[in-house]
C-alpha cells in the first residue's frame, strides 16, 4: 500500500507540523501532541481552533459550507481559517494558532467558552475623521458644571447623529473631542464622500445650534476643527471581556489628528488631506488648498480647506 502524501506546515513560534493529504490541520496538530483548542469538537461551531495564515493561503483547501457560514457570521478576514475544516495541498505554509491558553480563550471567545466572539485585528482602508471643540476651555471655566455637561451632551448628540446618518462609526469620544471612521461597510471613495457630508452637516448644525440656543442662553458661540484623511489602518477589538471596544490604529490616524489640530493655524474649520480629496467623485469647486507641515510627518502635506474661517480668528489659536 502506497504511503499518503504529506506536507509541512510551520506553526510560528512552535514547531513544524506534518499534515497528511486529506487530513485537517487540527487533526495533525492533535496527532503531534499540540494542545490545539477545539471546544466544539471540530464541528465548525466555536471558532476556537482558528489560525492566522501568514504564508501559503493558496495551498489550503477552500472554505467549505460550514466554515463559510461561521466566517461570515464572525467577520473573519481572508487569512483566518478554521483548523478543523482546513486541509493542506502544498507549501510552504506558515501560520499562527490564535488561541493557545485560557487567557487567549477568554479574549477571543469570552469567559466560559461562549460561542460569541469578536473580530480579530485586520487591515482596512478607511476614512479617518477627527473633531475637536475650539475655544471650549474658557466656556467650561466660566459656567456651572451642569451647564458644561449639558452643552457637551447636546453637542455630541448632534455630532454622533450626523456621523451615523452618513454611515460612519464613532470610535471614541474624550472630553471635547470625537474620533470616527467611515468605510467599514463600503468602499473608500464612498467613505470619503460620506465623511465630507458628515463634516458639512455638523458645521451647518452647529451654526443653527449657536443661533437658536448656545448664544441666546449662554452668550457663547461653539466652533470646531475637523480633520479628514484616508489610509490603511488596523481594526480590531481591544480590552478584556465582552466590553472590549473597537479600535482603529495606525500612522494615517495620527495624520488625521494632526490635520484637526492644524485647523487653528489655517483658520479654517475643516481640513481634508489631498489623498482624501482626490477620491471625491464630485469635489467642491473653487476650493482653496495649502501646503502645511504636520508634526511627525516628514514632508509638507497638501490640504484642502472645506470649512469656514473662525468668526473670532484671533481666538482660534486658544486651547480647545
Radius of gyration of the chain (CA): 25
> Percent of the chain at pLDDT above 70?
87
Alpha carbons 52 and 69: distance in angstroms, whole number:
18
Which residue(s) pair with 19 in the sheet?
7
Cβ(224)–Cβ(131) below 8 Å: yes
- The pLDDT assigned to 146 comes to 86
Q: For residue 159, how far is the Cα from the chain centroid?
A: 18
Which pLDDT band holds residue 102 (cuts at 50, 70, 90)?
A: low
Domain with CATH 3.30.70.1230 in the chain: 122-315
Domain with CATH 3.10.20.30 in the chain: 6-113
Cβ(127)–Cβ(187) below 8 Å: no
Q: Does the pLDDT of residue 245 top 80, yes or no?
A: no
Catalogue the E-assigned strands of the chain. Answer: 6-11, 16-20, 50-55, 80-82, 93-97, 122-134, 168-174, 177-182, 223-238, 245-249, 270-273, 288-292, 301-305
| CATH fold for domain 6-113 | Ubiquitin-like (UB roll) (3.10.20)
- The pLDDT assigned to 166 comes to 97
Model pTM score: 0.66
Enter the CATH code of domain 122-315: 3.30.70.1230
Give the tens place of pLDDT for each residue, 3-57: 679 999 999 888 899 999 999 999 999 999 898 988 788 888 888 899 999 999 9
Q: Does the pLDDT of residue 61 top 90, yes or no?
A: yes
Amino acid at each position: 500500500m502506497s504511503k499518503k502524501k504529506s506536507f509541512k506546515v510551520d506553526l510560528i513560534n512552535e514547531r513544524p507540523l506534518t499534515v497528511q493529504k486529506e487530513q485537517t490541520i487540527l487533526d495533525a496538530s492533535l496527532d503531534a501532541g499540540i494542545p490545539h483548542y477545539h471546544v466544539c469538537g471540530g464541528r465548525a461551531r466555536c471558532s476556537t481552533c482558528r489560525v492566522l495564515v501568514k504564508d501559503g493561503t493558496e495551498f489550503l483547501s477552500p472554505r467549505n459550507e460550514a466554515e463559510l457560514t461561521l466566517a461570515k457570521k464572525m467577520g473573519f478576514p481572508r487569512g483566518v481559517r478554521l483548523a478543523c475544516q482546513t486541509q493542506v495541498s502544498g507549501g510552504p505554509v506558515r501560520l499562527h494558532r490564535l488561541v493557545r491558553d485560557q487567557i487567549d480563550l477568554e479574549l477571543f471567545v469570552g469567559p466560559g467558552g461562549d460561542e460569541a466572539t469578536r473580530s480579530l485585528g485586520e487591515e482596512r482602508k478607511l476614512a479617518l475623521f477627527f473633531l475637536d471643540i475650539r475655544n471650549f476651555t474658557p466656556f467650561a471655566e466660566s459656567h456651572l458644571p451642569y451647564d458644561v455637561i449639558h452643552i457637551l451632551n447636546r453637542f455630541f448628540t448632534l455630532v454622533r447623529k450626523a456621523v451615523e446618518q452618513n454611515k460612519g462609526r464613532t470610535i471614541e469620544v474624550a472630553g471635547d473631542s470625537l474620533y470616527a471612521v467611515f468605510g467599514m461597510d463600503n468602499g473608500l471613495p464612498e467613505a470619503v464622500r460620506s465623511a465630507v457630508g458628515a463634516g458639512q452637516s455638523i458645521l451647518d448644525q452647529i451654526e443653527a445650534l449657536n443661533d437658536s440656543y448656545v448664544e441666546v442662553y449662554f452668550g457663547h458661540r461653539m466652533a470646531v476643527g475637523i480633520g479628514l484623511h484616508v489610509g490603511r489602518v488596523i481594526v480590531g477589538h481591544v480590552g478584556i471581556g465582552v466590553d472590549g471596544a473597537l479600535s482603529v490604529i495606525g500612522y494615517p490616524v495620527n495624520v488625521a489628528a494632526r490635520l484637526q489640530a492644524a485647523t487653528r493655524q489655517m483658520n479654517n474649520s475643516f481640513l481634508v488631506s489631498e489623498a482624501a480629496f482626490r477620491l471625491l467623485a464630485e469635489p467642491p469647486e473653487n476650493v482653496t488648498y495649502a501646503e502645511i507641515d504636520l508634526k511627525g510627518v516628514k514632508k509638507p502635506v497638501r490640504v484642502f480647506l472645506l470649512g469656514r474661517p473662525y468668526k473670532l480668528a484671533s481666538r482660534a489659536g486658544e486651547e480647545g
